[in-house]
Amino acid sequence: MEKLEFATLGGGCFWCLEAVFSRINGITSVKSGYSGGTNFNPTYQQVCSGETGHAEVIQISFDSKKLTYETLLDWFWRGHDPTTINRQGGDIGTQYRSVIFYHSEYQKKIAIDSKNRLGKNNFFKDPIVTEIIKIQKFFPAEDYHQDYYRKNPNAGYCNYVIQPKLQKLKLK
């Protein structure tokens, strides 16, 4: 019997994270959306303005009997650069910040421990700037953002940003 939990993560464009996490065993669903800001039910255009406080995020449903939260965070750290403030590659702005929105005190503890462990081990050349914040509300993105890579594998962003990331992580 499945034991489903949620995780909400931001690490740049939600298309990239969605493509990564949709390929990991134990994840039952991945939704692109927005969290962390002040606007209720924001649109993509509002979030892109950088004035809503929202980050582009994914909300993951996962079977914790098949995938631990710790392992999920290991994929998160490898799936983006957590050392750049408000930026992932060419995507610049607060909406692209590195952030973990925890759903429980357990997740908060695991996220803090994971971040501290990587920092102490100098896993990254620069300090980790990832925020760890309690989830308040998740707003699903518009339908055309959902499963973007699967629906648009030949789009420019998919060819030049997502595919190399999937290859680097050895995900098909």
Cα-trace Rg, the chain: 15
Q: What is the mean pLDDT of residues 46-54?
A: 95
Among 13, 16, 48, 158, the one annotated catalytic:
13
Distance CA 44, CA 113 (A): 33
| Token code pair at residue 3 | 């034991």
The confidence band for 172, taking pLDDT boundaries of 50, 70 and 90, is confident
Using left for φ > 0, alpha for ψ between -120 and 50, and beta otherwise, residue 86 falls in left
The C-alpha atoms of residue 18 and residue 15 are separated, in whole angstroms, by 5
Q: What are the backbone dihedrals phi and psi of residue 101, each rounded to the nearest 5 degrees, phi first?
A: -100, 110
State the pLDDT confidence band at 143, using cuts at 50, 70 and 90. very high
Q: Is 108 a residue whose pLDDT tops 80?
A: yes
Position 166 scores a pLDDT of 95
Q: How many CB atoms lie within 10 A of CB 160?
A: 11
> Residue 2 pLDDT > 80, yes or no?
no
Return the bridge partners of 70, or none. Answer: none
In single-letter form, the type of residue at position 41 comes to N
Kindly report whether the global pTM for this prediction surpasses the value 0.85: yes
Q: Please give the average per-residue pLDDT across 24-41, as a whole number.
A: 96
In this structure, the strands spanning 98-102 and 131-134 are: parallel
Task: State the total domains in the chain.
Answer: 1
User: What integer is the mean pLDDT of 31-48?
Assistant: 97
| Residue 157, pLDDT above cutoff 80 | yes
d(CA 127, CA 18): 25
pLDDT for 43 beyond 90? yes
Position 91 pLDDT exceeds 90 = yes
Q: Which domain holds residue 47?
A: 4-168
The CATH number given to whatever domain includes residue 31 is 3.30.1060.10
Is 48 among the catalytic positions? no
DSSP structural state of residue 96: G
